[in-house]
Amino acid sequence: MIRALLVLAVIFSGLAAVLTRGHQALGEVLSTTTANDLTNGRFAQKIDKAVFGAVPRSTALDGLVTGLEYRVLGDAGPQVRAGCGDWLYSMEELRAERRDRDNMALRAELLERLVRTIKQSGARLIIVPVPDKADQVGDKLCGITATQSRLRDQFWNELAHVEDAVVVDLRENWPRPGYWKTDTHWDQAGARFAAERIAQTAARMPEPGQDAVRLVEGSMQQRTGDLAKLSGLSDAPHALAPAPEQEREVKVDIARSGGLLDDTPEPSIILAGSSFSLNSGFLEYLETSLSREVVQVSQRGGGFAGALLETLEKRTGSLAKAKAVIWEWPMRSLVSPPSDAEKSFMRRSK
């Protein structure tokens, strides 16, 4: 009933705007319409154009409607689900599709081939699957079904049987919540934990890091989550939207090992990840934990293996000099349709 009233309110406000702002344009259409316009469809096109031009475009109005739907109905739009306490979750994590199992099977085969390829290059591969937010912060789902996230957990069985690779399991002792309320990514506590867990794994490398890396923490700054933007809640009035979160600015100061006149060695670790590797200071925490500089080649929207495949194709020189490749990918990417780059690699690596 409330939803219907909101929809009707929007419709009537739009109709009123069309009548007040567009009556002149509508009058011109009616006065210039010919018999041919009525028979060939041009009349309807002219009416549509006049109405569209008269409809008000207001970010504030859109934000108000979105905020009301969120606060009154718990509706965050078609791509975002609202949990409790202003926690937002991506439908990408929760949605179940018919070909999910097939895509997971393809990724299992792709993973084995990538492991073999990286081993042939001489580098050590460290695999870092990022658990779903819905899985790690399940206590804030409040009625949302996360069956699909549980299905992806079965992939850990595949990872347990991968030879010649090291898998970092971030699930144990995860610093809950470890994710932003209004964003798909880990927060700074989660990013720091992941970096330190990876460094513990990489500590067994034959050449430990010798750079003097100092983490420099700056001031707190406001952060608007990607899910708040995706749902339109970033434009809603403050009283109707989740409160913005605070993120501390971080950077690193690296004093490289070697003399002043020595050639600076090329970094021996490559980070080929997704947007998780580009968020929340993860790279800075990783370099600090490893005591060495890291080459960042991660991609926003890179999904399962976008950055790693591009490294194999376009950065073979850097890969040949690398001691280790850290391959980070979100668990939700296991069920996404295969990319053109993934399909191409699968054909070439048979």
Q: Identify whether residues 74 and 154 lie together within a single domain.
A: no
* Rounded mean pLDDT, 117-132: 92
The first and second tokens of residue 145, run together, are 């079904």
Domain that holds residue 51: 2-89
Residue of higher predicted confidence among 81 and 55:
81
Final residue of a domain: which of 55, 89, 123? 89
Q: Identify whether residues 120 and 215 lie together within a single domain.
A: yes
Q: Identify whether residues 6 and 155 lie together within a single domain.
A: no
CA atoms within 13 A on the CB side of 120: 9
Q: Which of 24-28, 29-33, 267-271 has the highest mean pLDDT?
A: 267-271
Q: Identify whether residues 53 and 124 lie together within a single domain.
A: no
Residue where the block lists tokens 């399940």: 138
Asked, for residue 229, whether it belongs to a domain, the answer is no
Q: Give how many domains the chain has, as a whole number.
A: 2
Residue 135: which of 339, 298, 280, 331 has the closest Cα? Answer: 331
Angle formed at CA 114 by CA 113 and CA 119, multiple of 5 degrees = 100
Asked, for residue 292, whether it belongs to a domain, the answer is yes
Q: Identify whether residues 156 and 121 lie together within a single domain.
A: yes
pLDDT band at 190 (very low <50, low <70, confident <90, very high): very high
Asked, for residue 238, whether it belongs to a domain, the answer is no
The answer to whether 128 and 170 have CB atoms below 8 angstroms apart is yes
The pTM of this model reads 0.81
What pLDDT does residue 247 have? 96
Asked, for residue 94, whether it belongs to a domain, the answer is no
CA atoms within 13 A on the CB side of 168: 25
Query: Does residue 264 register a pLDDT over 60?
Result: no
What pLDDT does residue 260 have? 47
Query: Does residue 88 register a pLDDT over 50?
Result: yes
What pLDDT does residue 321 have? 84
Q: Identify whether residues 72 and 117 lie together within a single domain.
A: no
CA distances from 272 to 157, 291, 303 (A): 23, 18, 11
Q: Does residue 265 have a cis bond before it (omega within 30 degrees)?
A: no
What pLDDT does residue 60 have? 79
Asked, for residue 231, whether it belongs to a domain, the answer is no
Query: Which pLDDT tens digit goes with each residue over 191-214?
Result: 999 999 999 988 766 565 667 889
Q: Identify whether residues 171 and 27 lie together within a single domain.
A: no
Please give the mean pLDDT across all residues of the chain. Answer: 84
Asked, for residue 236, whether it belongs to a domain, the answer is no
What pLDDT does residue 30 have? 59
Residue 318: which of 279, 286, 284, 272 has the closest Cα? Answer: 272
What percent of the chain clears pLDDT 70, i.e. is strictly above it?
79
What pLDDT does residue 19 have? 52
* Rounded mean pLDDT, 222-239: 94
Q: Identify whether residues 74 and 137 lie together within a single domain.
A: no
What pLDDT does residue 261 have? 46
> Using H for helix, E for strand and C for coil, what is the string for the chain?
CHHHHHHHHHHHHHHHHHHHHCHHHHHHHHHHCCHHHHHHCHHHHHHHHHHHHHCCCCHHHHHHHHHHHHHHHCCCCCCEEECCCCCEEEHHHHCCCCCHHHHHHHHHHHHHHHHHHHHHHCCEEEEEEECCHHHHCHHHCCCCCCHHHHHHCCHHHHHHCCCCCEECCCCCCCCCCCECCCCCCECHHHHHHHHHHHHHHHCCCCCCCCCEEEEEEEEEEEECCHHHHHHCHHHCCCCCCCCCEEEEEEEEEEECCCCCCCCCCCCCEEEECCHHHHCCCHHHHHHHHHCCCCEECCCCCCCCCHHHHHHHHHCHHHHHHCCEEEEEEEHHHHHCCCCHHHHHHHHHCC
Final residue of a domain: which of 67, 89, 111? 89
What pLDDT does residue 338 have? 95
Q: Identify whether residues 214 and 330 lie together within a single domain.
A: yes
Q: Identify whether residues 263 and 165 lie together within a single domain.
A: yes
Asked, for residue 235, whether it belongs to a domain, the answer is no
What pLDDT does residue 262 have? 52
- Give the span between the Cα atoms of 128 and 125, in whole angstroms: 10
The answer to whether 100 and 301 have CB atoms below 8 angstroms apart is no
Residues facing residue 214 across a β-bridge: 253
Q: Identify whether residues 179 and 71 lie together within a single domain.
A: no
Q: Identify whether residues 118 and 81 lie together within a single domain.
A: no
Final residue of a domain: which of 61, 89, 117? 89
* Rounded mean pLDDT, 318-330: 90
Query: Which pLDDT tens digit goes with each residue over 160-183?
Result: 888 878 999 999 999 999 999 999
Asked, for residue 23, whether it belongs to a domain, the answer is yes
Residue of higher predicted confidence among 65 and 7:
65
* Rounded mean pLDDT, 145-166: 84
Burial of residue 8 (number of CB atoms within 10 Å: 0-12, 13-18, 19+): exposed
